Structure formats: structure tokens, C-alpha cells
A = this chain, B = another copy of it.
């Protein structure tokens, strides 16, 4: 947050700081591009979801949902944009990056955003259909050899 101490008092008085105006314009610019991406998806028959990743006020990656055309369950807009941003910034840690996505992310994309250390998610529509359409069963069958492999790996790292 910018220090507001130097702001004009009149602006402060009407309850809208210069900073807030600037923030809203910035949000609008990035959401507009995310919605443009969503529109590209719609034209290609994909569920219209788009996003941009922003660092230091600049777009570093943009993408739209391509699940159907690529036959790839992971080809959601957010995952594709994260892959592009990682490639561009040559780092899997997207520290200081924010993501503007049209729809509230699913569990996979939320996990990808967390894994990539993204700072903040902005979205412009809530997801009323989270991953409740498929149940997956899971079972843990402990393998001591693997547990040792993993333990040794981290022991050697420290």
C-alpha cells in the first residue's frame, strides 16, 4: 500500500484516494485483458475462462482455457498462464506476481497458484460449480523403501 500521507486533503475528504482510483483503473485494465482471453476461448467452443499474470504493473503471461482443443484435463487458463510466466521469468517461483482470472479458480488451479507462490488472486465471477462432479477414491499402501528414499533425499539436502 502506498503511503497516503502526501495525498491532497480534498481527495481524502470525498473518501476516494488517488491510490484507490489508480488501483481500480489498474484492475480494470487487467480484467479487460482476462475477459478478452475468455472471449477467445468462447469463440473456439471452450468454456470462456481467461487470465493474465501481472508483475510490477506489467502483464507477463496471458492464456485462455484450451481443455477441449488440446484434449488435456490440465489445460485450464491459469495453469497455462503459470507455465508461460515461469518460462518467461525463468523461475517456478512467481514471487510478487498477481493473477487476474475471470472465474474463481478450481482446486487444481488454486493449488497451482499456491505452488507458484503467486501473491494475490483477483477474479470477477464466483465459481458455483467447484469440483463436486467427480469423486475420487484414494488408498495409502505404505512402502518403506520409498519412505527411506524420500527421507534420505531431504537428509542430504540439509
A residues within 8 Å of B by Cβ?
27, 31, 35, 38-39, 42, 47-48, 67-68, 70-76, 79, 82-83, 86-87, 90-94, 102-104, 106-126, 131, 134, 136-143, 145-147, 149-150, 153
Question: A71–B48 contact, CB under 8 A?
Answer: no
Report A93 CB to chain B, min CB distance, Å: 7
Residues of B within 8 A of A38 (CB): 146, 149-150
> Could you write out 30 A-B pairs with CB less than 8 Å apart?
A27-B141, A31-B141, A31-B143, A35-B146, A38-B146, A42-B149, A42-B153, A47-B153, A48-B153, A71-B90, A73-B86, A74-B79, A74-B115, A79-B79, A106-B111, A108-B110, A108-B112, A108-B114, A114-B136, A117-B134, A121-B136, A121-B137, A121-B139, A122-B138, A122-B141, A123-B139, A123-B140, A124-B146, A125-B140, A125-B143
Residues of B within 8 A of A31 (CB): 141, 143, 146
Task: Give Cα A47–Cα B92 distance, bound, in whole angstroms.
Answer: 14
